[in-house]
Amino acid sequence: MDTNKLSELLGGWEGYRLGTVGRASQVEQRGEKPEIWIELHPDPQHPRRCGGCGQVVAAIHETTERWIRDLPILDADTWLLVHRVRVKCPECGPRVEQLDWLDARARFTRRFADSVVRLAALLPIKQVAQFYDLHWETVKRLHKEHLQRTLGPPDLTGIEVIAMDEFAIQKGQRYATVVVEPYRKQVLWVGRGRGREDIRPFYELLGAEGRARLKAVVMDMNGAYEAEMRAQCPQAEAVFDLFHVVAKYGREVIDRVRVDEANRLKHDQAARKVVKGSRWLLLRNPDNIKRDEDRVRLAELLAANRKLAKVYILKEDLKQLWDYRHVGYAWRFWLDWYRRAIRSRIEPLKTFARRLKEKIDGVLSHCRWPLHTSLLEGINNKIKVIKRMAYGYRDDEYFFLRIRDAFPGIP
């Protein structure tokens, strides 16, 4: 077979022709993975292009040898000994020639790098590195460069509503903030921290026109998020979602009352044990309690303890506030719930109700903007999976690029 035809069949290394081809038999004898070595010489009939300006250049400055890794051929790793050409460009001076299959300073062909990137999107970096016999830092670099090329800066044109939430990135109360376009389900921005100065770069990225266009921001009751939104976009409405308000109620009311009741029953160990072990039953959505024995336990607990029954019923009632789509009706429901909470004579409940009253405008905003951050909770769960796949990330930029790549948005 003609060597040019063989070159096209094996690799299509445009601009080069086959030289020596060999199989490293001594490597196999040592029990290591076999290797194929292919020598590639410049094709004198092929036009050379400058790697800087792209114009065709006839003059050659020099030729150097470089070992390049390519995709395996059958069972063997493939190495190319490429006699790399540097052209003498009249505009740019000596430059490495431009090739479609090999970048200027790369040690891998583009198709090899693409194969690594495709696998890195599905598997942990450690496993990809082991599969290709590469250093994990090399796999991360290839994937990171690919994400930087393909993602680019986020498109923030036309953004009117955003949702923002925090997620843990490391132990020790270290958090990052994710910003999402809730209708397209697209991650727009990720940044370390959850304070005002931490999220400010996103508003700066929006620009003056983008900030003026923003109408609503869905968030939890994080004071820093709201304060920065008020400062950057005073016309926008804060929308406090059901998930975070109910989670806050669980921490500040149900947990506190449950602990107080358990302490009150310290002389009755059987009753105390029942109350102490009831946390997840009290916090869980009733529709998610599937086992009959759990339903019986919950019913018996609420029948035996009036305070726990009262805070549990008010928790379920509070959720109904997010079902309203008319502000007036929602306001009347809130006033009724608030009066019941204040008259309950349960201090943690009364404290929570007073604090929520200060934020009630943001709660009622859901009538105009029926959005919630359950989408963000789903994204946070996927973020945890991405983090587990790499056993944590030491490179924030790479981690945040992977998050953006996982949620490109609905076209």
What does the buried/exposed string (b/e) look like for 271-304 if buried means 16 or more CB atoms within 10 Å of the residue's CB?
bbebbeebeebbbeeeeeeeeeeeeebbeebbee
Q: In sequence order, what are the residues at sequence separation of 6 or more whose Cβ sits closer than 8 angstroms to the Cβ of residue 345?
A: none
Cα first-last separation, the chain: 48
| pLDDT tens column, 94-105 | 999 999 898 888
**Token code pair at residue 78:** 């493939």
Strand order in the sheet with 237-240: 186-192, 174-181, 161-170, 216-219, 237-240
**Amino acid residing at 387:** K
Q: Given pLDDT bands bounded at 50, 70 and 90, which one contains residue 9?
A: low
Q: What is the SS3 assignment for 26? A: helix
pTM of the model: 0.78
CA distance 273 to 205: 53
- CB distance 89 to 57 below 8 Å: yes
Q: Is residue 151's pLDDT more than 60?
A: yes
User: Is pLDDT of 296 > 80?
Assistant: yes
Strand-pair partners of 189: 179
- pLDDT band of residue 160 (cuts 50, 70, 90) is very high
Give residue 391's pLDDT.
Answer: 56
At 312-353, the pLDDT tens digits run 999 999 999 999 999 999 999 999 999 999 999 999 999 999
Residues near 32 by Cβ (< 8 Å), separated by ≥ 6? none
C-alpha closest to that of 163 among 182, 146, 177, 149: 182
Is it the case that residue 189 has pLDDT exceeding 90? Answer: yes
Helix-, strand-, coil-residue percentages of the chain, each rounded to 5: 50, 20, 25
Average pLDDT over residues 154-183: 87
- What one-character-per-residue DSSP string does 260-319 give? HHHHHTTT-HHHHHHHHTTHHHHHS-GGG---HHHHHHHHHHHHH-HHHHHHHHHHHHHH
DSSP class of residue 95 equals E
Q: How many CA atoms lie within 13 A of 404 on its CB side?
A: 23
User: What is the distance between the alpha carbons of residues 15 and 29, in angstroms, rounded to a whole number?
Assistant: 35
* Cα 38 from Cα 168, distance rounded (Å): 48
pLDDT in tens, 344-377: 999 999 999 999 999 999 999 999 998 765 676 7
Instruction: Tell me which of 409 and 7 has the higher pLDDT.
Output: 409
3-state secondary structure of 230: helix
237, two tokens: 């409405």
Please give the sequence-ordered ranges of beta strands (E in DSSP) within 46-97, or none if there are none: 48-49, 56-57, 60-73, 76-89, 93-96
149's CB contacts (< 8 A; 6+ apart) are none
Q: Model confidence over 195-253: pLDDT tens digits? A: 999 999 999 999 999 999 999 999 888 889 999 999 999 999 999 988 889 989 999 99
- Name the DSSP class of 408: B
- Distance, CA of 119 to CA of 208 (rounded, Å): 40
d(CA 69, CA 320): 61
Task: Name the burial class of residue 55, with classes exposed (0-12), middle (13-18) and buried (19+) by CB atoms within 10 angstroms of its CB.
Answer: middle
